[in-house]
Structure formats: structure tokens, C-alpha cells
Chains A and B, each alone.
Chain A
């Protein structure tokens, strides 16, 4: 015999105060990394360098190169609204950036990034060829 547990719904309140420039940047078509005068670069961006200094915000521009990708067919809950999606990691200079691509990009392809809302209304990073 199997019985059911009481339902527990989890939806969290996430503070992105220290990285607000990134989240606002997405809405304006800009993607930021952070750098520190000690020489470290961060993507995902963070306000605190591990050396103890505060980092500075720098926009990621230019061309990236695809290092790996996948196409997710078995979707997790929270993504029921999506058709199978392509996740890509591309290298832009000293950082690597994750994003989605609607084009069939492969390892070694040159890509550029842009921002747009996805089907659930969340602003995120996308890649296109060239």
C-alpha cells in the first residue's frame, strides 16, 4: 500500500542585491563579469573578490568560442513550458559563459551573445553563430 505525503511547496526569495548590475544589465542587453585589481576575473560575477577587495563591473563583448553543449530533451520541473533546449558554454577571453542557443552551434564554433526573455519571462543569455 502507498499513501501520499502532505504537499510542500517550495519557492524561494532570492536576494541578488550585490549582483544587481548583472540582473539589470540583462534587461538592457548587456552581460557583465567582474574583475579585481589583484588580477582575478569572475563569471558568474561576484562583488567580493576572494582576496578581500571589491570587484569592478566590466561588460563582456566580442566573439566567444563554443567549448561544449547539450540539448536537453528530458526536462526538469520548472521547464515544462519549453521545447527541448540547447545549453552552450562558450569562452569569451578569460571567462566562460553559459547560455541557450536557438541555432545549432557546435564545439569550436564562433558565437556572439545577446540577451532576451525566455518562454517563462526570465531574461537570460543567448548565443548566435558568428
Chain B
């Protein structure tokens, strides 16, 4: 029994002065309309939310009620920045197991209800509080910054190459009405922005955004009955890594990405990702993260990620366009919303509804790569139409 995506929705990302439930409803109502369904048709709701930064600490029931799903779950999931993918997986699994035929995965995050220092202290706990943040004040940018210094030292990757990831993200985000950032930047803007955690500067970091996204999944049987033209979930790969960064073997990549990609590729019989996918969405919470993702997903060899962006291989017309929607860097990264927002963007592309950001499709196949924390969780999904 195959499982497909039959409806998607996504709120505008950015500082959004609405409550978490109102924000979630923006995405849910768009997804229901997209699938031509009403709440009664949905049998299970999964609510992904990292939480803590919003005033509702246990938001699943609040979101569920407001969206009209009281009685249909909710199943709350949390996998740091990969929460959205974990929500999709939960909905997928329930359908695959034959428990339900139609499920909705909702990802929602209010990031702007606390101040930046508090947000940094919460994000810095996305690892191991006791042994790392407690003593050393690790922050989310700091964790990726440490990977950046290791990558620069080993492979000669430059701050300028990292800046190019941000420039590409902003250029694409400008054409995406849902994106947080709507302004073009140049390499110098990135290099001259203030340091957050050396070598990462303000423009190397995804912004602090509110946002929500939703995807409705259905069984093959239901898809046939409704006559939907779905995006099929062809393969799922997942992995994780140690909570303590000091327990990792190296800092020039994310092992969880490599393992999740291997699993997803093997299940979908993908031998060469460059020859199999029309485009990819990868987890670019920081510019160095996108560079490492090129390598860990097999788009280039380890250490060549800097050259990959520099040579335009991840841009429109390159070997594999990456984050054509603006990425987390340009569109925004409301933690739990991110993974499902990737699915939203992939669905629009594969349906050839991406407007000015449309990629030429040959294989009608794409992947999403969603990382939680610093490789603490990783999900790789392969979609096809």
C-alpha cells in the first residue's frame, strides 16, 4: 500500500503576530482546501511542535481544537528542527499500518514570543544540557560554527563560499511569497554582518521565524477512490547521533545525514542522486550546513562542498538545484514547520506549480533532507510524481 501527499499548506514565515493555533490554522485550511477535504474526512492529526519558546508549553491540544480536529488525535511529536519530518513519518506509518486512510501532519512553531537571548539558551539545549550547555554556553549557531572551523581547517572551505549559500537563498526567497526574507544580498553583506559565533555571521544564520505548515497524507486506496493526483512518498531514511557533540568521530559532516541518505537511496534504488533527482531541499539552518549536506547526501565528494556552491552546481541550471524556494536561510526556519514546509515546496515543484521558482522536471523525483539539532536527528524523504 503506497502513501501519497494529497494536500499541502504553509503560512507566511516571519514574525507573525497571531497565536500558535491561529498560525497553524492558516496552513491547515490551505491544505484542506488543496485536497478538497473537510476536517471530518481526516482520521488522525499529528501535531509537531518543539515548543518552549511559545507561551503554550503543551500546544498540541490547543492547535488541534482550533483546527477542528478535536477527537482525531492529536499525536504530538518532537525531534528538534526535524520535528516536521517526524510528524510526516507518524502520519505515514499510521496509514502504512492500515490504522487510518487519511491523516494530517501539522508543524507549527512560535519562535518570537521570547527574546533572542532566551531563544539562544533554549536552542543551545538542543544537544546535551548537562555536559555541554551548562558548562560552556553552547548555542545552536555555536555547534554549527564548530563544524565550520573543522571543515575550513581540513578542506580549505572559505567564509566567502559559505556566504554564497546565503546569497543564493535570499535570491530564491525573493520569489517566494511565503518567505521571511524578501531582499537580495551580496557576498559582502554576509561577510560584513556581525559575528554570531565565529566564523558564522548574522547572514550565515537562518532567521528566527514563526511559521506553520501542513500536509495531508492518504492511502493508495483512498487516492484511487478520490481520483487525486498525489505526490508519492517513495522512500524514507532516518538516523540520529549522540546528544553530546564530544562523542562524535569528526566534525566535518553529519553522520546522521549520511546514514539516513543511504537508507533512503537503498530503499528507492537510487545509485547516483545527481542522475535521479530534479532538485533537492536540504537543511540549511546555517550556510555551512548546506555545504556539508551536499557532501553527506552524495552530491559531491567530502570536502568539495565549498567548490560545489562556488561553481553554481546547486543553483538553477547546475548539477542539482538545491533549496530553490529560499531554504531555511531565506524562507525561515520555524523548527517544527520546516520539515513539512519542505514537503510543501517539493509538492509545488513536482506539480509544476512553483511559478518563477519552477525547476525543469525530467525525473519527477526530489528529496527532502531535514536535520534536527546538529545531526541529532535526520530524515531523508524521496518523493515522486
A85 within 8 A of B: yes
A residues sitting closer than 8 Å to B (CB atoms) are: 2, 5, 14, 16, 43-44, 67-80, 82, 85, 87, 89, 95-100, 106-108, 122, 124-125
Contact of A76 among B120, B148, B246 (CB under 8 A): B120
Interface residue stretch chosen among B69-77, B132-140, B231-239, B348-356: B132-140
Nearest chain B CB to A42's CB is how many angstroms away?
Answer: 8
B268 within 8 A of A: no
CB contact list, B121-147 vs A, under 8 A: 121, 123-124, 128, 130-139, 141-142, 145-147
Q: Which residues of B contact A122 (CB under 8 A)?
A: 134-135
Nearest chain A CB to B242's CB is how many angstroms away?
Answer: 10
Q: Which residues of B contact A70 (CB under 8 A)?
A: 142, 145-146, 148-149, 197-200
**Can you report 14 A-B residue pairs in the complex whose CB atoms are below 8 A from each other?**
A16-B130, A44-B130, A69-B149, A72-B139, A73-B197, A74-B141, A74-B196, A76-B123, A85-B136, A85-B137, A89-B245, A98-B132, A98-B138, A125-B135
Q: Which residues of B contact A85 (CB under 8 A)?
A: 136-137
B247 within 8 A of A: yes
A79 near B250 with CB under 8 A, answer no
> 14 more A-B contacts (CB under 8 A) besides A67-B150, A68-B149, A74-B116?
A2-B17, A5-B55, A44-B131, A71-B195, A72-B197, A73-B195, A73-B196, A77-B118, A87-B136, A87-B138, A89-B246, A98-B138, A106-B153, A122-B135
Q: Which residues of B contact A69 (CB under 8 A)?
A: 146, 149
Contact bitstring B241-265, A, C-beta under 8 A = 1, else 0? 0001111101100000000000000
B244 near A44 with CB under 8 A, answer yes
Nearest chain A CB to B240's CB is how many angstroms away?
Answer: 15
A98 near B246 with CB under 8 A, answer yes
**Contacts known (A70-B146, A70-B149, A72-B142); A77 close to B121, Cβ less than 8 A:** yes
Q: How distant is the Cα of A69 from the Cα of B39 in the complex, in angstroms?
A: 50
List 3 tightest A-B contacts by C-beta distance, closest first.
Answer: A107-B153, A76-B121, A70-B145
Candidate in A74, A75, A107, A124 with the most chain B CB atoms within 10 angstroms = A74
CB contact list, B70-127 vs A, under 8 A: 113, 115-118, 120-121, 123-124
Q: How distant is the Cα of A79 from the Cα of B135 in the complex, in angstroms?
A: 10
A87 near B120 with CB under 8 A, answer no
B136 near A77 with CB under 8 A, answer no
B149 near A73 with CB under 8 A, answer no
B194 within 8 A of A: yes
**Contacts known (A68-B251, A71-B195, A77-B117); A82 close to B149, Cβ less than 8 A:** no
B247 near A96 with CB under 8 A, answer yes
Q: How distant is the Cα of A42 from the Cα of B146 in the complex, in angstroms?
A: 21
**Contacts known (A76-B124, A87-B142); A98 close to B135, Cβ less than 8 A:** yes
Q: Which residues of B contact A100 (CB under 8 A)?
A: 136
When C-beta atoms are compared, the residue in chain B nearest to A106 turns out to be: B153
When C-beta atoms are compared, the residue in chain B nearest to A125 turns out to be: B135
Q: How distant is the Cα of A80 from the Cα of B123 in the complex, in angstroms?
A: 16
Q: How distant is the Cα of A106 from the Cα of B148 in the complex, in angstroms?
A: 12
Nearest chain B CB to A58's CB is how many angstroms away?
Answer: 16
Contact of B137 among A68, A87, A95, A96 (CB under 8 A): A87
Nearest chain B CB to A113's CB is how many angstroms away?
Answer: 13
B245 near A98 with CB under 8 A, answer yes
Q: Which residues of A contact B118 (CB under 8 A)?
A: 76-77
Contact bitstring B192-208, A, C-beta under 8 A = 1, else 0? 00111111100000000
B150 near A68 with CB under 8 A, answer yes
Q: Which residues of B contact A97 (CB under 8 A)?
A: 246
Q: How distant is the Cα of A70 from the Cα of B152 in the complex, in angstroms?
A: 12
Q: Which residues of B contact A68 (CB under 8 A)?
A: 146-147, 149-150, 153, 251
Q: How distant is the Cα of A127 from the Cα of B142 in the complex, in angstroms?
A: 18
B139 near A76 with CB under 8 A, answer yes
Q: Which residues of B contact A71 (CB under 8 A)?
A: 195, 197-198
Q: How distant is the Cα of A44 from the Cα of B196 in the complex, in angstroms?
A: 27
Nearest chain B CB to A43's CB is how many angstroms away?
Answer: 6
Nearest chain B CB to A96's CB is how many angstroms away?
Answer: 4
Nearest chain A CB to B373's CB is how many angstroms away?
Answer: 15
Q: How distant is the Cα of A89 from the Cα of B244 in the complex, in angstroms?
A: 11
**Contacts known (A87-B136, A97-B246); A74 close to B197, Cβ less than 8 A:** yes
B146 near A87 with CB under 8 A, answer yes
Q: How distant is the Cα of A22 from the Cα of B199 in the complex, in angstroms?
A: 32
Q: Which residues of B contact A89 (CB under 8 A)?
A: 146, 245-246, 251
**Contacts known (A70-B197, A70-B198, A72-B197); A107 close to B150, Cβ less than 8 A:** yes
